[in-house]
Amino acid sequence: MRRLLRALGGVAALVFASAGAAAAHPLGNFTVNHLSRITIARDAVTVRYVLDLAEIPAFALDRSLDERGAPPHAVRDAWARKHAAEIAPLLELTIDERRVALLPAAATIEARPGAGGLPTLRATVTYSGALPPGAHALAFADRTEPGRLGWKDVVIGTEREATDELRIYPSALLGSPRSITTLAAAIDAHGILIRTGTPAGETNASMQTPLGRSNALSDVLQRGATDPLVVLGALLLAIALGALHALEPGHGKTLLAVSLVGARATPRQAIVLAAALTVAHTAGVLVLGLLILSATQWIVPEQIYPWITLGSGLLIAVIGARAVAREVRRRLPFAHAHDHAHPRAHMHAHDHVHAPGDHHHLAISSGAPLTFRSAVVAAASGNVAPCPAALVVLLAAINLHHVGYGLVLIVAFSLGLAALLTILGIAVVRGAAWLVARPRFEVVARFAPLVTASVIALVGAVMVAQGLAAAGIGSSVPLVAVLIALAIAGYAFAWHGSHRLGAAHA
Distance CA 110, CA 66 (A): 16
Give me the phi and psi of 165, to 5 degrees please.
55, 50
Mean pLDDT of all residues in 113-120: 85
Q: Work out the pLDDT band at 452, boundaries 50, 70, 90.
A: confident
Query: Of residues 59 and 470, which shows the higher confidence score?
Result: 59
161 and 35 in contact (C-beta within 8 Å)? yes
SS3 track for 387-410? CHHHHHHHHHHHHHCCHHHHHHHH
Burial 412-422 (b: 16+ CB within 10 A, else e): bbbbbbbbbbb
HSE, side-chain direction, 13 A CA sphere, residue 356:
21
Q: pLDDT tens digits for 310-345?
A: 888 898 899 889 888 888 887 776 444 444 444 444
The CA distances from residue 98 to 90, 92, 130, 136, 211, in Å, are 15, 10, 12, 11, 46
Distance CA 107, CA 85 (A): 10
419 and 273 in contact (C-beta within 8 Å)? no
The CA distances from residue 45 to 164, 165, 366, in Å, are 21, 19, 75
Distance CA 7, CA 24 (A): 24
Pairing of strands 152-156, 32-41: parallel
Q: Work out the pLDDT band at 250, boundaries 50, 70, 90.
A: low
The CA distances from residue 243 to 9, 228, 416, in Å, are 19, 23, 5
Most confident of 95-109, 216-230, 262-276, 324-338: 95-109
Q: Work out the pLDDT band at 243, boundaries 50, 70, 90.
A: confident
The mean pLDDT of the chain is 77
Q: Work out the pLDDT band at 8, boundaries 50, 70, 90.
A: low
- Report the pLDDT value the prediction gives residue 249, as an integer from 0 to 100: 66
Mean pLDDT of all residues in 22-38: 85
Lowest-confidence segment of 78-87, 146-155, 386-395 by average pLDDT: 386-395
Mean pLDDT of all residues in 180-200: 78
Mean pLDDT of all residues in 468-492: 86
144 and 182 in contact (C-beta within 8 Å)? no
Question: Rounded to a whole number, what is the largest CA-CA distance in the chain?
Answer: 106
453 and 430 in contact (C-beta within 8 Å)? no
Query: Of residues 60 and 254, which shows the higher confidence score?
Result: 60
Q: pLDDT tens digits for 270-306?
A: 778 778 878 888 888 888 888 877 776 666 777 788 8
301 and 291 in contact (C-beta within 8 Å)? yes
Q: Is the pLDDT assigned to residue 217 strictly greater than 50? A: yes
If one counts every other C-beta atom within 10 angstroms of the C-beta of residue 85, the result is: 12
**74 Cβ neighbours under 8 A, 6+ residues apart:** none
- Report the pLDDT value the prediction gives residue 444, as an integer from 0 to 100: 67
Judged by DSSP in three states, 342 sits in coil
HSE, side-chain direction, 13 A CA sphere, residue 23:
12
Q: Work out the pLDDT band at 92, boundaries 50, 70, 90.
A: very high
Q: Work out the pLDDT band at 394, boundaries 50, 70, 90.
A: confident
Q: pLDDT tens digits for 336-393?
A: 444 444 444 443 434 343 333 333 333 333 456 777 788 788 877 877 777 777 888 8
Question: For residue 279, which of 371, 386, 370, 375 has the smallest C-alpha distance?
Answer: 386
Q: Is the pLDDT assigned to residue 16 strictly greater than 70? A: no
Q: Is the pLDDT assigned to residue 205 strictly greater than 70? A: no
